[in-house]
Amino acid sequence: MFVFLQDLGTSEVGGATGAGVPQLVIWGTDVDVNRCKQRFKRFLERYIDPGVEQDEKFDGMDINEPIYLQRLEEVHLLTY
């Protein structure tokens, strides 16, 4: 993947950035890398699946809490 800085100004994807404020985009596109990172982070922090399959559950899992944050905590605890 190639990325470079480009002043997109007010692109449809990146939104208004202000005059002269560069954005990190994927080469050949107007995909704003920082916006993608923010959306992915928000997904990890908020995704809840109350219909999670039994074989995907783990000890201490709360199906009403974000799954990926619980998984990250589980991995963290297992590595220390």
The tens-digit pLDDT sequence of the chain (80 residues) is 555 555 555 444 445 455 556 789 989 999 999 999 999 999 999 999 989 999 989 888 999 999 999 999 988 888 87
CB 17 within 8 A of CB 8: yes
Domain co-membership, 31 together with 60: no
Whether pTM exceeds 0.75: no
Could you tell me the residue range of the domain that residue 65 belongs to? 49-80
Count up the domains in the chain and report the number.
Answer: 2
Asked if 30 and 62 sit in the same domain, the reply is no
3-class SS at 63?
coil
Is the Cβ–Cβ distance between 25 and 8 less than 8 Å?
yes
Residues whose CB is less than 8 angstroms from the CB of residue 74 and which lie 6 or more positions away in sequence, other chains included: 58, 60
Q: Which residue has the tokens 């939104």?
A: 15
Indicate if 6 and 38 belong to the same structural domain.
yes
Query: Are 10 and 42 within one domain?
Result: yes
Residues 41 and 2 both lie in one domain? yes
